[in-house]
Amino acid sequence: MTNRLLFVCLLSYLDNVIGNTQDKSKSSLLFQDKTDLDPVGCNEQTMLTEVSGSKLSCAMSCMFSEACVLFSYVSDSKTCSLCHGDMIQNLTYNAWKTFTWAFVILENHQPSTINTFYSQSKFIPGSLSIGTIIHLCIYLFPNKQPYFSIDLKENETTGDYPLSFLVNHGQISLYSVKGSVITNSTYVHLGSGSLLAGTTHVVDILVTADGFRLYMDKTYCCLYRHLMPYKVAKYLWIHGYIQVMELTL
């Protein structure tokens, strides 16, 4: 992480601390307290805890640690607990405490009635790392086939795919592409009626040492094991009959 990026991060966080209103569509990196997302593995026994005078200084400690992906700050005791990405084993959505996550906003839009096919390729800032969460909130257009795809790609138009995540009706198809050959196809059935046109859905993809852990609407779907280094992925390509309401990582 470059010093310039750190400076931008700190400015964004400081704006939140002092209560300034931010336009998230223009912000690059923000911090957000999450009370409904529990990173399993980050606890008092595993997290590095230190004394910190403020939440801002706690955020600085996390950013200057290459492996830190989130932190927890307790103002009463002035303690800062850092969680490294390799500590996160799983995600649950009923947290017993508040964790503060840093994330880059790639897209953030209000609901729209424009019914068009979406196809966008996004450059992944820096690179994927253990503990990265790709978060996608989408709206499935009415009167269209409930279909969308999320691809992690080596290049914008060519190259290998460490992961392709395709949702079509009530089925998830997972596979990798190596040298133009589709490999390790895996299928997960969501059931009839789980994806309907005109509805909103959330996808979370957690990068772990073993593979990609996938969650659909806050429910664990499966683990797709790495067939190639995850850092091969430099682009995120999303397409389908959808509106992307939120995309962060």
Class of domain 109-248: mainly beta
Domain covering 3-105 in this structure, CATH number: 3.50.4.10
pLDDT at 77: 93
Q: What is the CA radius of gyration of the chain?
A: 18
Across the range 202-224, mean pLDDT stands at 96
Residue for token digits 């700050």? 73
Across the range 30-39, mean pLDDT stands at 88
DSSP 8-state assignment for residue 141 = P
Across the range 163-169, mean pLDDT stands at 92
Residue from 217, 210, 49 nearest 131 by CA: 210
The amino acid that residue 34 corresponds to is K
Give the span between the Cα atoms of 200 and 59, in whole angstroms.
32
Token couple for 36: 């409904």
Where do the H-state alpha helices sit in the chain?
Answer: 3-17, 55-64
Report the mean per-residue pLDDT for the chain. 85
pTM here is 0.85
Token couple for 194: 């789980």
pLDDT at 3: 40
Give the span between the Cα atoms of 73 and 98, in whole angstroms.
8
Token couple for 56: 């801002």
Domain locations in the chain as residue ranges: 3-105, 109-248
